[in-house]
């Protein structure tokens, strides 16, 4: 999100709204946002953001494993961008780093999702986290073949309590790479025109993140420290504790053409 936030709380079967001026974009991510009600809940939120809030951009980040064509049929018109997480085009590496999808082939599923995005006019994006197990991979040709509007390339980042430390859900220390290694990956892929790099420095404080309790998550101290909920204290008060760095947001290219109506894509 940028410049403003709108809280949507679904507790009694209805969507409640805190309308605010200045909001242009909302992104739903997780965890995996398609888990709840097999994506129906998410679809309703996406439609609400487009029809009621009239947001210029509504996007989703997903691993793609639970998305079905029916979802595109029902909700594709309301979605601007679908970003699929793909850290490797080698299925063995995907399994190694935890991106395996059981009997599904992650790469084959990615190609199917790309086709659905084209068919239902949703801008297609790829997110890749560069880590110890894929830093030497050459992804130039498969990325060019998929032709996403953006290929977001992140450097593996440690967040205390999430993927680092005693209370971490998953220990990611083994995945960490140096700044020089990350730059080497970027240099090898510099010919890919849709590449958008994001180092640890650029990523850490340049997002406005809301958790499921509508609390901003401040990452400045290497962990996600929650503010008070905007449902309790309002956005203007809660955002003071978000740790958001607007200058870094702009420096990393956070503001871009993010509405499919403006992208003028050749579907």
What pLDDT sits at residue 267? 67
- The whole-number pLDDT of residue 162 equals 52
Q: Mind giving me the DSSP string for 137-150?
A: ---HHHHHHH--SE
- Peptide bond before 31: cis, by omega within 30 degrees of 0? yes
Extents of the domains making up the chain: 1-79+205-256, 86-104+127-202
d(CA 65, CA 82) in angstroms, rounded, equals 13
CA-nearest of 233, 143, 227, 246 to 193 is 143
- Rounded to an integer, what distance in angstroms lies between the CA atom of residue 170 and that of residue 179? 22
Cβ–Cβ < 8 Å for 155, 218: no
Residue 4 has a pLDDT of: 44
Cα separation, 54 vs 204, whole angstroms: 29
pTM of this structure: 0.84
First-to-last C-alpha distance (Å) of the chain: 26
DSSP state of 188: H
pLDDT at 265: 84
Q: Which residues share a beta bridge with 82?
A: 60, 124
Condensed to tens digits (0 to 9), the pLDDT of residues 23-70 reads 889 999 988 999 999 999 999 999 999 998 899 999 999 999 999 999
Per-position b or e across 11-48, b if 16+ CB within 10 A of its CB: eeeeeeeeebeebebbbbeeebbbeeeebeebbbbbbb
- Encoded tokens for 100: 């395996």
Query: DSSP 3-state assignment of 235?
Result: helix
Beta bridge partners of 184: none
Long-range contacts of 215-221 (CB under 8 A, 24+ apart): 216/241, 216/242, 216/243, 216/244, 217/242, 218/242, 218/243, 219/159, 219/243, 221/160
Residue numbers of the chain with a pLDDT score lower than 70: 1-21, 100-103, 157-173, 204, 267
């Amino acid at each position: 999100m940028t410049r403003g936030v709108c809280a949507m709380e679904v507790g009694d079967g209805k969507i409640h709204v805190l309308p605010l001026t200045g909001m242009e974009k909302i992104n739903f991510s997780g965890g995996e946002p398609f888990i709840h009600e097999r994506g129906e809940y998410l679809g309703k939120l996406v439609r609400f953001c487009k029809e009621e809030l009239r947001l210029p951009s509504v996007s989703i980040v997903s691993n793609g494993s639970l998305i079905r064509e029916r979802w595109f049929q029902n909700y594709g018109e309301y979605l601007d961008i679908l970003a699929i997480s793909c850290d490797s085009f080698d299925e063995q590496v995907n399994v190694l780093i935890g991106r395996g999808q059981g009997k599904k082939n992650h790469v084959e599923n990615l190609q199917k999702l790309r086709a659905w995005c084209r068919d239902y006019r949703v801008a297609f994006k790829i997110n890749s986290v560069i880590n110890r197990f894929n830093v030497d991979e050459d992804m130039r040709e498969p990325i060019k073949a998929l032709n996403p509007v953006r290929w977001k390339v992140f450097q593996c980042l440690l967040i205390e309590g999430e993927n680092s430390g005693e209370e971490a859900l998953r220990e990611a220390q083994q995945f960490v790479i140096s700044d020089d290694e990350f730059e080497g990956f970027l240099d090898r892929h510099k010919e890919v025109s849709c590449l958008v790099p994001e180092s640890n420095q650029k990523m850490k404080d340049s997002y406005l993140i809301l958790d499921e309790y509508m609390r901003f998550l401040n990452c400045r101290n290497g962990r996600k420290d929650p503010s008070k909920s905007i449902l309790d204290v309002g956005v203007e008060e809660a955002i003071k504790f978000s740790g958001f760095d607007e200058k870094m947001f702009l420096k990393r290219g956070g503001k871009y053409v993010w509405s499919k109506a403006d992208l003028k894509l050749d579907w």
